[in-house]
Amino acid sequence: MCEYSADTRFGHANVIRFCGRPFADVDEMARTMTEYWNLRVTDDDDVYIVGDFIYKAAEPAEEIIGRLRGRKYLVVGNHDPKWMKGVDLGKHFVEVGHALFAVDDQRRRVWMCHYPCMTWPKGAYHVYGHIHNDRPEGFWPLLRTYDNALNAGVDVNAFMPVTLDELIANNARWRAEE
């Protein structure tokens, strides 16, 4: 099974306040997101992390990654390069993409980039991160009209990796909350 996630930002205290996450501190956030991840993901699942996986974590990245089940793929986000230095990425990730990534998920084409895009291949789903649960006024009015543009951020997906069908449902609900 394929699952998607973005903007976990393991280790980042300020993201709790910025996004209104329901955690007292980074330790509670890490424990909860790890528990949710491992309840859903098996070692046979493919998990596509669409950027900003770890940010300002006090513990080594290898320990965070090692606690999470599944075959992990990383689409690098703007906050990832710092923690990636010195990490044997090949040991922890099946593949790392520095701009975009495309896969087939149950005969549906999924085109991933950490940043929301305005265009992508016709008929594909565009899975992105970066904006968390924000709706930037500069481009949100247009982006929200694209049913095939799906925010994989944990802030709109119950703080866990989700399937493509769940992404579709969660994003429809998130758009309706405006």
Res 178 pLDDT > 80: no
CB count in 10 Å sphere of residue 174: 18
CA distance 74 to 48: 6
Query: What was the pLDDT predicted at 98?
Result: 84
Range of the domain at 95: 2-176
Please write the tens of the pLDDT for every residue from 98-134: 888 899 999 999 999 999 999 999 999 999 999 999 9
Q: Which CATH number fits the domain that encloses residue 146?
A: 3.60.21.10
Instruction: Report the number of distinct structural domains present in the chain.
Output: 1
Order of strands across the sheet that contains 100-105: 100-105, 108-113, 125-128, 149-151
Structure tokens at 61: 């990245």
Strand ranges inside 95-178, DSSP E: 95-97, 100-105, 108-113, 125-128, 149-151
Q: pTM for the complete prediction?
A: 0.96
Please write the tens of the pLDDT for every residue from 57-66: 999 999 999 9
Strand ranges inside the chain, DSSP E: 2-5, 46-49, 71-75, 95-97, 100-105, 108-113, 125-128, 149-151
Distance between the two ends of the chain, CA-based, in angstroms?
31
Computed on alpha carbons and rounded to an integer, the radius of gyration of the chain in Å comes to: 15
Mean pLDDT, rounded, of the chain = 95
Res 136 pLDDT > 90: no
Query: What was the pLDDT predicted at 156?
Result: 97
